[in-house]
């Protein structure tokens, strides 16, 4: 089993749709969780940290389920500009990156 697993997609959704991604991790001792966004041929950029109680940043909501060892990212009211690859990152001091889930928002 990979340490961090993501569905590679692509997820093709119309503008305005709600879309959710999950990411599972194998190390139950992991303490830190993040979602990054990566545009084609660009560097990963931090989208949001994921906290135990769940957290929201505008149209984006992240949640952590320690019992089932997964984190999720929900995007509401999708925009064309949300098209990118979303990377799940898990670890404690040293981080493991998932291979990413590709999202395409269609006009």
Partner 1 sequence: NAGVTQTPKFQVLKTGQSMTLQCAQDMNHNSMYWYRQDPGMGLRLIYYSASEGTTDKGEVPNGYNVSRLNKREFSLRLESAAPSQTSVYFCASSEVAEDQPQHFGDGTRLSIL
Which residue ranges make up the site for partner 1 (CB under 8 A)?
A: 8, 31-32, 34, 36, 41-46, 49, 87, 89, 92-95, 97-100
| Residue 38 vs 72, nearer CB to partner 1 | 38
Cα–Cα distance measured from residue 78 to residue 19, given in angstroms and rounded to the nearest whole number: 8
**Least Cβ distance, residue 88 to partner 1 (angstroms):** 10
Q: Which two tokens stand for residue 79?
A: 């925009």
Cis peptide, bond prior to residue 10, ω within 30 of zero? yes
Name the residue nearer to partner 1 (CB basis): 89 or 105: 89
What does R_g of the chain's alpha carbons equal in angstroms? 13
Residue 66 main-chain phi, psi, to 5 deg: -70, -35
**What is the nearest approach in angstroms of partner 1 to the Cβ of residue 16?**
29
Q: How far is the CB of 60 from partner 1 (least distance, A)?
A: 15
């Amino acid at each position: 089993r990979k340490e961090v697993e993501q569905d590679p997609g692509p997820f093709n959704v119309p503008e305005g749709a709600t879309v959710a991604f999950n990411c599972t991790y194998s190390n139950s001792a992991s303490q830190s969780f993040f979602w990054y966004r990566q545009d084609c041929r660009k560097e990963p950029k931090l989208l949001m940290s994921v906290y135990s109680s769940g957290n929201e940043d505008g149209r984006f909501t992240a949640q952590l389920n320690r019992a089932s060892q997964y984190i999720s990212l929900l995007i509401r009211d999708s925009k064309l500009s949300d098209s990118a690859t979303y990377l799940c990152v898990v670890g404690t001091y040293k981080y493991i990156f998932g291979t990413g889930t590709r999202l395409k928002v269609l006009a």
